[in-house]
Structure 1
Amino acid sequence: MPSTLLTPLTAPYVHGAAELESTSRGLRPHRLPAWAREQFPDPRLLMMEAQPSGVRLAFSTAARTVALVSHPTRLAYRGADRARGSVDLMVDGALAASVPLDDGDLILSDLQTGGTEFRPGPPHTAAFPGLPAGEKLVEIWLPHNESVELIELRTDAPIAPVGPAGPLWVHHGSSISHGSNASTPTQTWPAVAARLGGVSLRNLGFGGNALVDPFVARVIRDAPADLISVKLGINVVNADLMRLRAFVPAVHGFLDTIRDGHPTTPLVLVSSIFCGIHEDTPGPGAVDPDTLGTDQVRFVATGRSEEQQQGKLTLRVTRDALASVVETRHDPNLHYLDGTTLYGADDAVEHPLPDALHPDTATHRLIGERFARYARALLPQR
């Protein structure tokens, strides 16, 4: 039986991350660089950026067995069950296996009191035996909905790092882009779109944090990219963060910053998918307390439609505003994509949002397929 090889995990093996932080256990991937995390160390944002949606290990090898040891940390809500994260294995571009996490630390939050409880746990080993013989491209996609510290990579043959496959796509968005309600990391809609489009993904989708933050625009400005997409709307509405007067100039400034580093790169401004609770009702959004402890927690909008007269935002208002932003900039490489073409009111009949806010796995796939078809014409031909 071949001996087990331990390969030190270093940056060349990790795709889709901004940087790797050394911890007492190993390496923690971050999707935002340290300067951005220090500039605004909001606990919710820090939790979201440390969940490695779209981050994967990539290498070539003839190994027949691969195992990743990691230490996950997950957030759960009392009375609202959430599925565990998974580690997915891709071999030569095809999904070969998926291993659910069942160990690691737990942060249990009470949505009603705001209190939290910490429960430590052991590391998790995701083992993938029986790989095909011969040299192949192996990708290990890290969980999109739990943070992890990478401890050890075990194989029964040497491995070598590989560069990005295909054009580089940088995407920023909300929890839907982050992957909320998708079953596994390769089934989030950006991962689906990247696979179908033959591009290398860097996912800057942060649950609850697509808030037109200037530091995110600077991260995109400085990132290598052949295609950029920015999906805005739902978080500024359900956070009740801005009025229309602030939203439009903020979006212009966000795009100005991106253009400082990418003056001609194809850039898609995407509005929100259909979400019935916020189409004509402003935020803030909230968890419906009557659904806590049931089989399906749901979200509600707590604003009033007439508050639009004071400049409060709804999804319809943000879509009109984003379309107008693109029209007034006269940028031939800036494109507006109405999010309801990815998932609209008719789709909501056949594929309702289970919690009234986030799509399920099948709907993630639908959105990813539609975005891939749209974006194909914008990608550079190589």
Structure 2
Amino acid sequence: MTDSYGWITTPLTDDLLRGALDLERTARGGLLPHRLPARARAQFGGDEQGAQAESQPSGVRLVFRTRATAVELDVLRTVLGYRGFPPRPDGAYDLHVDGEPAGRATAGGGDLLLVDLDDGSRERVPGPVGTVRFDGLPGREKVVEIWLPYTETTELTGLRTDAPVTAVEPGGRRVWLHHGSSISQGSAADSSATVWPALAAAAGGVELVNLGLGGSALLDPFTARALRDTPADLISVKIGINLVNLDLMRLRAFGPAVHGFLDTVREGHPTTPLLVVSPVLCPAHEDTPGPAAPELSDGKVRFTALGDPSEAALGKLTLRVVREELARIVALRAADDPGLHHLDGRELYGEADAAELPLPDRLHPDAAAHRRMGERFGALAFGPGGPFAAPGPSAGV
């Protein structure tokens, strides 16, 4: 319908969203994207961290075709804050026109979820709906994509344009399904569109479904089942850092858990190219087990590894131990699974990179490192000879 200001209001329907595994209709009439299905969310077992991460729409984007020169998107965001710590920057909404970056904006308002790290308590401070606006778009027919922020749970409540909108049918691009930790979800990247998997997907010409879950890449069976049940042409799983920095399991449990996770994925994707990626370099945890703890110094948050390096001999996990075990497991399984591949995460971010682009909080790469990782993964995975390289033309064609 057209309102008194000439805007055309378009209902927010499922066919306008990409990159989500589930879309929830809220009591307020909004559309809330989820990156895990309802069955998986029901099995979190009270894990607030995991529930929050999956509801933060990294890689989820609104996609439509239009001649509009102006777009407004109403959102009710939930912003995470930590009591006693500096506020986090507002999440970025990236605008792409015909696949090219064309603008960036933020939203105001929204609810504040304030977490006390000392006792784990949470307080929600309600706020109003905010509006993201882009104008000055070219008046020709075009495909518009709005990438939602990876840092904020985002309930979509309204879409207005100054010309009609139609859904875009999925093209012939291959679908890449990726699972990892907060580094895959976004960590300190500038926006969802500049997280390293998004940059790698652009380089590879594929459609990304990003199941990077901050603090929650824990080999959970429900995540494995979500990967199993999601249609995909390419799959990657980045395993290790959360298991170490949460001190979640010992070496004896780690190997069988990796096998079980991969077994489950293979139930739904028996021959799909499947790439296992080990952790990028993180000096704090290379030889020191977790857990990791945040500390505030000079107004900045940094993480410290609290484990004892000598405990690695007793089975505690370090990144070095994880990499060795993942390489062994993949080599063992690949003998019967030619579609299974391995990538050492230090090829994406290693010692030389840490010297040039050190981890600002000792745990997460910054925006420049995300760009570098995206470029490298694009070359290593999607380039000639890579496990995700596009198939060449058939003989005689």
Structure-2-length-normalised TM-score = 0.93
Which is further off, 313-322 or 82-91? Answer: 82-91
Q: Secondary structure of 1:180's partner? A: coil
The partner residue of 2:183 within 147, 164, 176 is 176
Q: CA deviation at 1:2?
A: 8.4
The partner residue of 2:153 within 147, 151, 171 is 147
User: What does residue range 63-78 of structure 1 map to in structure 2 within 5 Å?
Assistant: 63-78=68-83
Report what 1:22 is aligned to: 25
Q: CA deviation at 1:109?
A: 1.4
Q: CA deviation at 1:84?
A: 1.5
Report what 2:8 is aligned to: 5
Report what 2:317 is aligned to: 313
For the residues of structure 2 that align with 1:357 and 1:164, how far apart are their CA atoms? 36
Which is further off, 315-324 or 368-377? Answer: 368-377
Q: CA deviation at 1:375?
A: 1.5
For the residues of structure 2 that align with 1:213 and 1:145, how far apart are their CA atoms? 22
For the residues of structure 2 that align with 1:164 and 1:170, how far apart are their CA atoms? 15
For the residues of structure 2 that align with 1:38 and 1:114, how far apart are their CA atoms? 21
Q: CA deviation at 1:203?
A: 0.5
Is residue 2:240 matched to residue 1:237? no
For the residues of structure 2 that align with 1:357 and 1:35, how far apart are their CA atoms? 31
Q: Deviations over 1:232-289 (max 9, x none)?
A: 000000111111111011101111111111111111000000001000000011112x
For the residues of structure 2 that align with 1:113 and 1:37, how far apart are their CA atoms? 24
Is residue 2:391 matched to residue 1:381? yes
Q: CA deviation at 1:296?
A: 1.6
The partner residue of 1:35 within 17, 34, 39 is 39
Question: Is the contact made by 2:108 and 2:131 (CA closer than 8 Å) also made in structure 1?
Answer: no
Question: Is the contact made by 1:59 and 1:138 (CA closer than 8 Å) also made in structure 2?
Answer: yes
Q: CA deviation at 1:133?
A: 1.8
Report what 2:204 is aligned to: 197
Question: Is the contact made by 1:11 and 1:19 (CA closer than 8 Å) also made in structure 2?
Answer: no
Structure-1-length-normalised TM-score = 0.96
2:6 aligned partner, one-letter code: S
For the residues of structure 2 that align with 1:163 and 1:310, how far apart are their CA atoms? 54
Q: Deviations over 1:129-149 (max 9, x none)?
A: 110121111001111110011
Poorly superposed stretches of 4+, deviation over 4 Å: none
For the residues of structure 2 that align with 1:230 and 1:51, how far apart are their CA atoms? 19
Question: Is the contact made by 2:75 and 2:107 (CA closer than 8 Å) also made in structure 1?
Answer: no
User: Aligned residue pairs: how many?
Assistant: 379
Report what 1:53 is aligned to: 58
Report what 2:195 is aligned to: 188
Question: Is the contact made by 2:196 and 2:374 (CA closer than 8 Å) also made in structure 1?
Answer: yes
Report what 2:120 is aligned to: 114
Distance 1:108 1:68, change over 3 A: same
Report what 2:93 is aligned to: 87
Report what 1:217 is aligned to: 224
Q: Deviations over 1:64-93 (max 9, x none)?
A: 111110100011112332211111111011
Structure 2 unaligned runs (5+)? 393-397
Is residue 2:276 matched to residue 1:269? yes
Q: Deviations over 1:308-367 (max 9, x none)?
A: 111000000000000001100112111100000000011001100000000111111111
Structure 1 unaligned runs (5+)? none
For the residues of structure 2 that align with 1:280 and 1:93, how far apart are their CA atoms? 42
1:300 aligned partner, one-letter code: T
Is residue 2:206 matched to residue 1:206? no
For the residues of structure 2 that align with 1:24 and 1:357, how far apart are their CA atoms? 37
1:326 aligned partner, one-letter code: V
The partner residue of 1:163 within 163, 169, 184 is 169
1:70 aligned partner, one-letter code: V
For the residues of structure 2 that align with 1:379 and 1:136, how far apart are their CA atoms? 28
Is residue 2:258 matched to residue 1:254? no
Report what 2:395 is aligned to: none
Q: Secondary structure of 1:39's partner? A: coil
Identity percentage over the alignment?
56
Q: Secondary structure of 1:152's partner? A: strand
